[in-house]
Amino acid sequence: MPETIKNYIAGKWIDADQGKTFKSLNPADHREVVGIVPDSTAEDVNKAVAAARKAFPAWRDTPAPKRGEILFRAAEILVKRKAELGELVCREMGKVLAESLGDVQEAIDMAYYMGGEGRRLNGETVPSELPNKDARSLRVPIGVFALITPWNFPTAIPSWKIAPALVAGNTIVFKPAEETPVCATRLVEILVETGLPPGVLNLVHGFGAQAGEPLVRHQEIDGVSFTGSNEVGEKLAALCGSSHKDFMMETGGKNPIIIMDDANLELAVEGALWGAFGTTGQRCTAASRLIVQNGIYDRFLQAFTQRATQLKLGNGLNKGIDVGPIISKAQHEKVLSYLKIGQEEGATLHLGGHSYVEGDCVHGTFIEPTIFTDVNPKMRIAQEEIFGPVVSIIRARDLKEAIDIANGIPFGLSSAIYSNDVNTTATAERDLDTGLVYINASTIGAEIQLPFGGTKKTGLGPREAGGRGGALDLYTKWKIIYRDYSGRLQKAQIDE
Ligand code: UN1
C-alpha cells in the first residue's frame, strides 16, 4: 500500500496548497508506489520560510547543549528503528539492504556526532593588545537555511545537513529529492518526535523548478546547502551569490582508483568492484575510472571481469543481491546513452552494456555492470559523471602518468591507490588533487567525523560533515567581541 505523505510546516502535517500530488516509485519494481507526495509550489515554500523565520530567535537562544540533546534523542530513535528505515531506503531508493542499513547508520553517526557539538561550539579567546580589554570570537547561527538533498543517500545526506544546521541554532526548510520523499519524511517524523519546537524544521516536498528554486530565491532564506548535479548547483550558486546568501554545494565526481604493479591483486579487485558497482555506481564517490599499470593490467582485468560477472542484480531486499536498480527511467536513459557514447568514441565494451531485464527485473530499471577497456583518458566516458554501474579502465606506464590521468578531469572528490610501496603511496597522497584520498582502500566509505568534499568542480564553499573545517563552518558565522573594561578611551594600534 502506498503511503500518503505530507509537508511539515509550522509544526503541522499538511497537503500542498494546490492539493496536487505525485508518486514515488520503487526503482526495483515500478509497479509499486511507495508514496503519494505533495507537489508543492511557491505558496508552500512561502509558508515554510515564514514558519522558519518566526521560530529562529527562540531556537537561536536555546542553549546549544539543549539543541544537541535533541539530536541525541533522534539518534536513539534511529537506532531503534534502523531495520524498518533500512527497508524503506531499499524500497524507495533501491540500494541493497546492507547498504540501505549503512545509509541509516551514517545518519545515526551524524546525529550523535553533531549532538556532541552542542557542547563544543567553541570560538577563541585571545589576549588583547590593550590592558583591561577582552578579545574573543563566537560561533553564531546564520538564520534560515534551505537544505536541498539528493536521492542517492536518502537518510545520510539529509542528516549531514539537518544535524549541524540544528545544533548550530539555525532553522530549516528542507526540500528532499522527489525520488525519495518517504525516507525524508520518516527522518523528519523522528526529529519531530524528539520535541523539536514547531517551525524549527519544515519539510516541503516537490520538484526543483516548482519548489526548490522559489525556496533558494526567497529573500528570507539566509543560507543554502545543496547536494546534487553540477548543472543545478551552478545555477543556485549564481542565485545565492547575487543575493548574498551563504552557500555550499557538493556536486559531481569522476573518481579514480590507481592500481600499481606491486598492488595486492585480490585487495585491488575487491576495492574496484565495491567502488564501481556498489550502490549501482550511484555515489558521488563511486570509482568510475580504474587506472592500471601495464605490468598488472592483464591479471587485473581478468580477475576483475570474472568477479564482475558473478555479481547478482535484483531487488535489494532479496538475499544474495549485489547490485540494485537505477533510480529512475530518466537516469536509466542517461546511463544507456553513455554506453552508446563510449562505443562511438572507440572504447571497447568489454562486459555488460545493456539493460538487465531478467525475471522480475523487467519491472524495474536495471543496467548490467559494465566495463569499458581501451579507454582514452580524454573520452567523455572518462571525463563525465555517469552515475551508474559503468567503469572505464585506462592503462598507465608509471606512477607519474597514473596521477596525471587521475587529476586530468574537471572533478576532484575522491581517489584511491593500491600499492605496497610506501614511497609510491606517499607520493600519491601528496599529488592526487582530490578532497579524499584512500590508500589500499576503495574511493567510497568516508566517515562522518572528518570533512567531506572535493576540489575543482566537485563543490563550492565549506565542506560537509565533522571535524575542523567541516559543516560548522557553513552553519555558523563568526562574531568577534571586544570588551573594554578600562573605563577610558583606549586606541588600538595607537596607544603606547
Ligand atoms: C555521496 O555519494 O553523495 O563516502 C555520498 C561515501 C559515503 C557518502 C557518499 N559515506 O561513499
pLDDT in tens, 175-199: 999 999 999 999 999 999 999 999 9
Question: 13 in helix, strand or coil?
Answer: strand
CB-ligand 1 contact for 149 (6 Å cutoff): no
3-251+458-481 belongs to CATH 3.40.50.150: no
DSSP for 71-107 reads: HHHHHHHHHHTHHHHHHHHHHHH---HHHHHHHHHHH
Q: Does position 404 have pLDDT exceeding 90, yes or no?
A: yes
**Residue 234 known to be catalytic:** no
- Whether residue 27 is predicted with pLDDT greater than 90 in this model: the reply is yes
Q: Copy the grid coordinates of residue 214.
A: 522559489
Nearest protein CA to atom 6 of ligand 1, as residue = 445
CA 459 distance to own-chain centroid: 11
Query: Could you read off the pLDDT of 134-188 as tens digits, one per residue?
Result: 999 999 999 999 999 999 999 999 999 999 999 999 999 999 999 999 999 999 9
Query: What's the pLDDT score for residue 54?
Result: 98
Assess whether the C-beta atom of 445 lies below 6 angstroms from ligand 1.
Answer: yes
Q: What's the CA-to-centroid distance between 452 and ligand 1, angstroms?
A: 9
CA of 255 to the centre of ligand 1 (A): 12
Q: Cα torsion for 217, 219, 221, 224, to the nearest 10°? A: 30
Question: From 3.30.9.10, 3.40.309.10, 3.40.50.12780, 3.40.50.1100, which CATH number describes the 255-439 domain?
Answer: 3.40.309.10
Active-site residue flag, 284: yes
> Ligand 1: which of 285, 327, 448, 463 to mutate, judged by most atoms within 8 Å of the beta carbon?
285
CA 480 to ligand 1 centroid distance, Å? 35
Q: Is the pLDDT of residue 1 over 90?
A: no
Name residue 392's beta-bridge partners: 289, 372
In terms of Cα–Cα distance, which of 25, 29, 23, 81 is closest to 316? 29
Q: Which pLDDT score, from 0 to 100, does residue 170 have?
A: 98
Q: What is the best residue among 148, 283, 436 to mutate for testing ligand 1's pocket, by most ligand atoms within 8 Å of CB?
A: 283
Report the share of the chain in percent with pLDDT over 70. Answer: 100
Say yes or no: CB of residue 446 within 6 Å of ligand 1.
yes
Q: What is the pTM of this model?
A: 0.97
Q: Which of 313, 315, 310, 308 is nearest to 323 (CA)?
A: 313
Kindly report, residue by residue over 419-433, the tens digit of the pLDDT: 999 999 999 999 999
Question: Cα(283) to centroid of ligand 1, in Å?
Answer: 6
Distances (CA, A) of 438 to 110, 258, 296: 21, 10, 20
Confidence of residue 446 (pLDDT cuts 50, 70, 90): very high
Determine the angle formed by the axes of helices 82-93 and 64-80, rounding to 10 degrees. Answer: 80
Cα dihedral 242→248→252→256 (10° resolution): 130
Res 168: pLDDT: 98
pLDDT recorded at residue 457 = 97
Question: Could you tell me the distance, in angstroms and rounded to a whole number, from the CA of residue 65 to the centre of ligand 1?
Answer: 28
pLDDT exceeds cutoff 90 at 496: no
- What's the rounded mean pLDDT across residues 231-242? 97
Let me know if 306 is exposed, middle or buried by CB neighbors in 10 A (0-12, 13-18, 19+).
exposed
Distance CA 268, CA 441 (A): 8
* Each residue's pLDDT tens digit, 77-102: 999 999 999 999 999 999 999 999 99
Report pLDDT for 270. Answer: 98
Cβ 7 under 6 angstroms from ligand 1:
no
Q: What are the tens digits of pLDDT across the range 112-133?
A: 999 999 999 999 999 999 999 9
**By the 8 A CB rule, do 37 and 24 touch?**
yes
DSSP state for residue 280 in the 8-state scheme: G
What DSSP string describes 357-419?
A: -SGGGGGS--B--EEEES--TTSHHHHS---SSEEEEEEESSHHHHHHHHH-SSEESEEEEE-
Where along the chain do its domains lie? 3-251+458-481, 255-439
